[in-house]
Structure 1
Amino acid sequence: MAIEIRRLTGEELKKTLGALAQLRISVFRAWPYLYEGTLAYEENYLGRYAETEGAVIVGAYDGDRLVGAATGEPLGGEYEAFQAPLRAKGFDPGKLFYMAESVLDPAYRGRGVGHLFFDEREAHAKELGFGEAVFCAVVRPDDHPMKPADYRPLDPFWTKRGYAKLEGVMVTFPWQDVGESEETDKLMQVWYRKF
């Protein structure tokens, strides 16, 4: 299975939002996100990428089928919940590029696509004049009943990419977990890199 990586902006980005919504619902249902997604929520959440200057989707395609995607945008276009903790620690959100979600169909993992997602988003950020990037990683308790026994955190991968945890910088954002009847706040650790 050959995978083609495409960097999408503008109209191409807008045309991909529906496929990205379906992919997010499927992939994020697994640990550690446990996301009980709906298309209505996705339409609202992803709609901001269509409106934010500088937003990007890096799509991974098997033929015409989107099998993975990574999103990003200037942090100034993100929800205030993502900006405020960084601002409180002295960062200027206007100078940070936000590496948002990365989702990949499990059948396509282990082929270097994760690195390509970071490469393409970082290149896009540099082209826009950014020299710093952040992303958020979901924090779940080690004893969570839904944690798979074979789960391996991605911390070593991110560290190898040059990112480090910003100690004490956490984002709180709500979504509905699998098995929950309503949204609850989730904690996410902020990671940072200067290019």
Structure 2
Amino acid sequence: MPQIRSFHGPEIEPWLDQVARLRVAVFREWPYLYDGDSASEYERSYLRPYVDSRDSVLVLALDEGRVVGASTGLPLLDDADAFVAPLQQAGLPAAQVFYFGESVLLPGYRGLGIGHAFFDAREAHARSLGRFRWTAFCAVDREPEDPRRPPDYRPNDVFWHRRGYARLPGLAVRLPWEEIGRGEVEHALTFWLRDWKESP
């Protein structure tokens, strides 16, 4: 079983290259189909806010020192404007939202409870900061009939609902990225939110 460790702010920087490589490897899969380059400016600019934020968290799954899984989070106001604007427009106070970035895990390590460990660590960190009412993340929207969808694909919706998160239809971030076989494409990613005042 991999070791689960958390890092914050500047402690994250030494891990960025390994996290970028993992993101590129895992996000090539459905539903993201990301045709990325771990050394690209896109990856560097995307991950930089986690280093610059004093209240960020990077949770790693380490197998003999090798990064096999990674999960991120930071105060929403420390992230890019593209993530902040939709919630502000919906009337949610962004200062009270702690945002979860990716959770990426190599296939051979799935089904071991690491996904729950990632959520546990990020939620505990957000609550320890004492100023956040909500935790939130985004998931990419795909058409169910998309022919590229693997026949054995199972979405994470049930897992997320059990963790106390609700999907907010119509509340989405729009982000472009290089998609396999299509070049740069803009994608919609819908918010999922957990209200800790309504959580047990």
TM range (shorter): over 0.9
Output the amino acid matched with 1:161: R
- Report the secondary structure of 2:142's partner residue: coil
Alpha-carbon distance in structure 1 between the residues aligned to 2:7 and 2:138: 22
In structure 2, the gaps of 5 or more residues are none
Q: Which residue of 1 aligns with 2:47?
A: 46
CA contact (8 A) 2:62 2:68 kept: yes
Q: Which residue of 1 aligns with 2:133?
A: 131
Output the amino acid matched with 1:12: E
Pick the aligned partner of 1:159 from 157, 161, 164.
161
Q: How does 1:1-40 map to 2 (within 5 A)?
A: 2-38=1-37, 39-40=39-40
How far apart are residue 5 of structure 1 and its match?
Answer: 0.3
How far apart are residue 83 of structure 1 and its match?
Answer: 1.1
Q: How does 1:87-102 map to 2 (within 5 A)?
A: 87-102=88-103
Relative to the length of structure 2, the TM-score reads 0.93
CA contact (8 A) 2:99 2:137 kept: yes
- Report the secondary structure of 2:4's partner residue: strand
CA contact (8 A) 1:125 1:131 kept: no
CA-to-aligned-CA distance 1:39-62 (integer Å, 9 cap, x gap): 212122111211122111000011
CA contact (8 A) 1:32 1:138 kept: yes
- Report the secondary structure of 2:15's partner residue: helix
Alpha-carbon distance in structure 1 between the residues aligned to 2:181 and 2:124: 39
**2:77 corresponds to 1:76:** yes
How far apart are residue 29 of structure 1 and its match?
Answer: 0.4
In structure 1, the gaps of 5 or more residues are none
Alpha-carbon distance in structure 2 between the residues aligned to 1:87 and 1:131: 14
CA contact (8 A) 1:170 1:188 kept: yes
**2:152 corresponds to 1:172:** no
CA contact (8 A) 1:171 1:189 kept: yes
Structure 1 31/53 Cα, relative in aligned 2: closer, same or farther at 3 Å? same
Output the amino acid matched with 1:19: Q
Pick the aligned partner of 2:148 from 143, 146, 149.
146
- Report the secondary structure of 2:146's partner residue: coil
Bigger drift between 115-124 and 165-174 goes to 165-174
- Report the secondary structure of 2:179's partner residue: coil
Work out the percentage of aligned pairs sharing the same amino acid: 47
Alpha-carbon distance in structure 2 between the residues aligned to 1:86 and 1:11: 27
Count of paired positions: 193
Alpha-carbon distance in structure 2 between the residues aligned to 1:185 and 1:162: 29
CA contact (8 A) 2:84 2:94 kept: yes
How far apart are residue 165 of structure 1 and its match?
Answer: 0.8
**2:95 corresponds to 1:56:** no
Relative to the length of structure 1, the TM-score reads 0.96
